[in-house]
Amino acid sequence: MRDRTDLALGAIWEETVAFVRAELSLLLPVAMLGFGLPTVVMLLAVPMEATQVGMLKPGLWMLWFLPCGALSMLGSLAVSALALRPGVSVRESLGVAVSRMPSALGLFLLYVGLQLAMAVPLGLISVIELKLAGRIGPVSMIANLACIAVTIWLFVRLMPIWAVLSDRAQRPWEAVRAAFRLTRGCYPKLLLLRVVMVFASLLLMLVLLIPIGAIAQLIGTLVGGASVSILLSFIATGLMVAMIGGIWTVFVARLYRRLDASVNGSPINGM
């Protein structure tokens, strides 16, 4: 059995780059459907009057989160299928993703149930502290920080969940158990990986959005409409999110294959 903590992230990154270069024509449409399109839809769905400085007013527009979230799950499963199944077509990867959607929706319901299970005691603690001390104090703050820590721990431990589900048909709880088994002993490295990925993605988005926004504004001025420049900037943002999301999903799928090999002793196929 291989050392599961030896993730060889550099090698996985090289394999990810090689895969993206070789299969870009397959990856791009799936990533645009699963990550780019939901981003553009959500940007268009937010009404101008709902945005204020430092806050976002809730409204019926938030219902768009449901279909966009479902598309994102579909995209994660389909891109994982592309990365895990050599020679698979776009149609086949989407077929795999559609067949796994009931379990994916079950995972979403488990997540919602967990959030509710944490929200109820948090609310009770806040109410009790408010009645006893007259204000929300350190007990509520500690409880909130504990829930945030639990949520971060779950997100890291369940990092390969979409690859797990895409690779093998299984029930939601079985997929959770499999992800926990694969990431046992790897939490520090996976947490660092997640943090680096988030900051690198944000930095890349900031660097690219400035010139892209300027170009979109120029085109909008030339064709005579601010709405054109806004639409172009939204599409460009969706394209960037699709590429970042697609590359990250491929990377996690490759990481999953290596973790699976280290735990189960199976050969690392398709790497």
pLDDT tens profile 103-122: 999 999 999 999 888 888 88
pLDDT value at position 266?
A: 55
Residue 271 lies in a domain: no
Q: Does residue 270 register a pLDDT over 50?
A: no
Q: Tell me what pLDDT residue 265 has.
A: 65
- pLDDT averaged over every residue in the chain: 86
Contacts of 130 (CB under 8 A, 6+ apart): 136
**H helices within the chain, ranges in order?**
9-22, 24-31, 37-45, 65-84, 90-133, 138-157, 161-167, 172-183, 187-223, 226-264
Residues 162-179 pLDDT 10s: 999 999 889 999 999 999
Residue 178 lies in a domain: yes
161 within a domain of the structure (yes/no): yes
Identify whether 212 is part of a domain: yes
Does 165 map to a domain? yes
d(CA 270, CA 91): 19
What's the mean pLDDT in 19-40? 94
Residue 271 has pLDDT above 50, yes or no: no
Mean pLDDT of 217-240: 81
What is the number of domains present in the chain? 1
Judged by DSSP in three states, 51 sits in: strand
Instruction: Write the burial class of residue 149 (CB in 10 Å: 0-12 exposed, 13-18 middle, 19+ buried).
Output: exposed
Question: In terms of residue numbers, what domain contains 201?
Answer: 9-264
Mean pLDDT of 250-261: 92
pLDDT at position 119 is 87
pTM of the predicted protein model: 0.87
In a domain, 193, yes or no: yes
Tens digit of pLDDT for each residue in 41-93?
Answer: 998 888 776 555 556 677 788 888 999 999 999 999 999 999 999 889 999 99
3-class DSSP state of 134? coil
3-class secondary structure, 56: strand
In a domain, 4, yes or no: no
